Amino acid sequence: MKYLLLIYQSETAVGTQDDEMRKAVLAEYGAVTAEVKASGHYLAAERLQPIATATTVRVRDGKTLTTDGPFAETREQLAGFYMIDAEHLDDAIAIAARIPSVRFGSIEVRPIWPPPYCE
């Protein structure tokens, strides 16, 4: 079963972390990613650039509307993701609980639709 683990955290809160802390978190991310790869759960993982770089696109009545940033002001922003293959939700939760941001942000665990006709 594939799961997408969406990492949400407050960019402003992360911005106040000092260099040492930031380095430690990054190193921990590296270690967790290596573990997830070693255990065979890893499918993909990426870190997103800050929302200041984001663009939101909509098409309404055939017209493309392009705006700066995400539409809603939310407390936490999407900062990255892991895509994993896990046996069941408990395994996915166990991996989510090891992602460093889980301690100051939150991880949303979303099951991914299986492909059609997989027997």
Partner 1 sequence: MSSSGWTDLEKLFREERDRILATLIGLLGDFDLAEEMMQEAFVVALDQWPVQGQPENPRAWLVSTARHKAVDRIRRDALHREKLTEVTMEREEAPMPLEGDSSPLTDDRLRLIFTCCHPSLALEGQVALTLRTLCGLTTEEIARVFLVPLPTMAQRLVRVKNKIRSAKIPYRVPPAELLPERLDAVMTTVYLIFTEGYAATGGETLIRGELCSEAIRLGRILVELLPERAEPAALEALMLLHDSRRCARVGSDGEIVLLEHQDRGVWNRGQIEEGIGLLERSLSRGGARCRYALEAAIAAVHAQAASYEQTDWREIAALYSRLLQLHPSPVVQLNRAVAVAMAEGPEFGLRILDDLERQGELQEYHLLPAAQADLLRRMGRFSDAAGYYARAIALVGNGPERRFLERALADASGR
What residue ranges bind partner 1 (CB under 8 A)? 1, 87-90, 93, 109, 111, 114, 116-119
In the chain the first and final C-alpha atoms are separated, in Å, by 13
Measured torsion, CA atoms of residues 55, 15, 25, 33, in degrees rounded to the nearest 10: 0
Query: Parallel, antiparallel, or unpaired for β 42-47 and 55-60?
Result: unpaired
Q: CB 113 → partner 1: shortest distance, Å?
A: 8
Q: Residue 93 Cβ, how far from partner 1 at the closest point, in Å?
A: 7
Q: Comparing C-alpha atoms, which of 80, 109, 102, 91 is closest to residue 41?
A: 91
Nearer to partner 1, 22 or 98 (CB): 98
Give the whole-angstrom CA distance, residue 39 versus residue 34.
9
Q: Pick between residue 71 and residue 113 the one whose CB is nearest to partner 1.
A: 113
Q: How far is the CB of 117 from partner 1 (least distance, A)?
A: 7
**Please, which residue, 14 or 93, has the CB nearer to partner 1?**
93
